[in-house]
Chains A and B, each alone.
Chain A
Amino acid sequence: MNIIETSHMSYDYIKYDEEGNAAGRTRAIRDVSLSVKPGQFIAILGHNGSGKSTLAKHINALLVPTEGTVVVDGKNTSDAANVWDVRQCAGMVFQNPDNQIIGQVVEEDVGFGPENMGVPTEEIWQRVEESLKAVGMYAYRKYSPNKLSGGQKQRVSIAGVLAMHPKCIVLDEPTAMLDPNGRKDVIRAARALNQVEGITILLITHYMEEVIYADTVLVMDGGEVVMQGTPREIFSQVERLKELRLDVPQVTLLAYELKKSGLPLPDGILTADELAAELKKVGPAR
């Protein structure tokens, strides 16, 4: 069974005038159908306003589709009775780390989700410990969140979601406000959860370097899914990505330019090691 299943889903943002009447509609998502299998690592790319964050909010039932359906773990999000089950099953991490930490101490914040779910006290402590260890923040459990760096705060946010024992975590541009080191730590934590715990990850980002480990990459533009495939498949279409105002990873771009100027390289090279290996193959022949 698929963990996330959307069929012909669309969403309209409605603009209201001063009297509170609907004055205009903006379609943020058009006819998106996708299915995610448990344990997958999905990356969603797209420039600003492509509808990727709106899509993310649907997985967590923060928004419900105007048309079509979203089914998370067998539960339709449009049914109000399912809301809390859906939110427990699909956790969400947001962009700004400061605006999603509720507790004044790291461990208290991680315990917030389980508290809301009515988990018994002893089990909360157990879950908090496990979650903080899983993201490598256990040593900071007594700290005030204000004393942590952006990357550390974001890992605390992930632990906070993890403590709710979700099957799926949606990360909505979790690295947009972080420095390169913090970015690496957060992505590493997300990958570890995917590989070790088998949690389904939906990573929304506009940093191309972060998506090369994904099983599937979706590219969104104007509310539609315009490209879908493995990172290699996606990044071999450099021209198409440029049309969509997206960058490709620097290594991929370098390989692409080298190929254009005549070197016999394969399409969609993703890492520096790969490029080096391919160049060695090419080297002696010349």
Chain B
Amino acid sequence: MIREITLGQYYQTQSVLHGLDSRVKLVGTLTYILSLFVVNNFLGYLLAAVFLAICILLSHVPFRYMIKGMKAVLFLMLFAATLNLFLTPGEAVVRIWKLQITDAGIAMAAKMAIRLTLLIIGSSLMTLTTTPNHLTDGLESLLGPFKKWKVPVHEVAMMMSIALRFIPILLEETDKIMKAQIARGADFDSGNLLQKAKAMVPLLVPLFVAAFRRANDLALAMEARCYRGGEGRTKMKPLVYHTNDYLAYAVLAIYLTVLIVAGRILQL
């Protein structure tokens, strides 16, 4: 069962969004998030929501998958909204004992909630339509210029992709060790938190030892296959921009322009 765990939350299907270069999606998501923080009016949020809705439709990913990401931060959102609701100074609308809800508070809380919702759905749209592999590749390519300042971009990307590859293997190993320790009388389920934490020791120690051994073997195998860092390496799947990617950048630029222009008009 443990083998079935999928990494990230990639949703396998064919769509325009899935076909886009991962760099476009990374830049796009970042721009979108920034745009949410720049905009400060309801018309802007409406535009952002419409833009996101179109993207979701284009992605062919069922909407419930986006909501999944929301559940984890629902508490945080409610907390932030409540704080904003009560603590923003302004004209009081409702008074409860010493607390007061102000008109500015309501607006602030609503904005906060909308902003967070769009932000989370927007970024999960990226992880739903891009494999972790492509994301790593895209990151490596986008951060490429930092190599000049001795930032180990290639190495970090390689580490990320190896980590992704080994997660299922180590999970399987954990499962095996757990069963072996249960067979020897280990008890992982009962007792209070402290006892449970202590029970993890006989699981974690062999797991770490095994992980180090694997790392050693893997390093040897990589060296045997002529791995010597990013220098002079070619790519089997180089990232190349296609027409669609340029179009996506154009759409992104239009979205930003419209958003800014709309904001200005509202101010006049």
Residues on A lying within 8 angstroms of B by beta carbon are 60, 62, 84, 87-88, 91-92, 94, 96, 98-105, 107-108, 111-121, 124-125, 128, 145-146, 160-161, 164
Contact = CB atoms under 8 A, between A and B. Distances in A.
Nearest to B7: A104
B224 A104 contact: no
A103 B217 CA distance: 15
Given A84-B228, A100-B218, A115 B165 contact: no
A113 B221 CA distance: 10
Contacts of A91: 224-225
A116 B132 CA distance: 21
Contacts of B228: 84, 116
A108 B133 CA distance: 11
Interface residues of B, number: 28
B238 interface: yes
Given A103-B165, A104-B165, A124-B236, A60 B224 contact: yes
Interface in B212-268: 214, 217-218, 220-228, 232-238
28 contacts: A60-B224, A84-B228, A87-B224, A87-B226, A92-B221, A94-B221, A94-B224, A98-B169, A99-B217, A100-B221, A101-B165, A102-B222, A103-B165, A104-B132, A105-B133, A112-B227, A113-B225, A114-B236, A116-B226, A116-B227, A118-B234, A119-B234, A121-B234, A121-B235, A124-B234, A124-B236, A146-B3, A161-B225
Nearest to A95: B217
A112 B222 CA distance: 9
A164 B223 CA distance: 13
B161 interface: yes
Contacts of A103: 165
Contacts of B226: 84, 87-88, 113, 116-117, 164
B45 to A, nearest CB: 38
B162 interface: yes
B165 A62 contact: no
Contacts of A117: 226
B234 A115 contact: yes
A277 B33 CA distance: 79
A119 B237 CA distance: 12
Contacts of B227: 112, 116
B164 interface: yes
Contacts of B220: 62, 94
A100 B236 contact: no
A94 B216 CA distance: 12
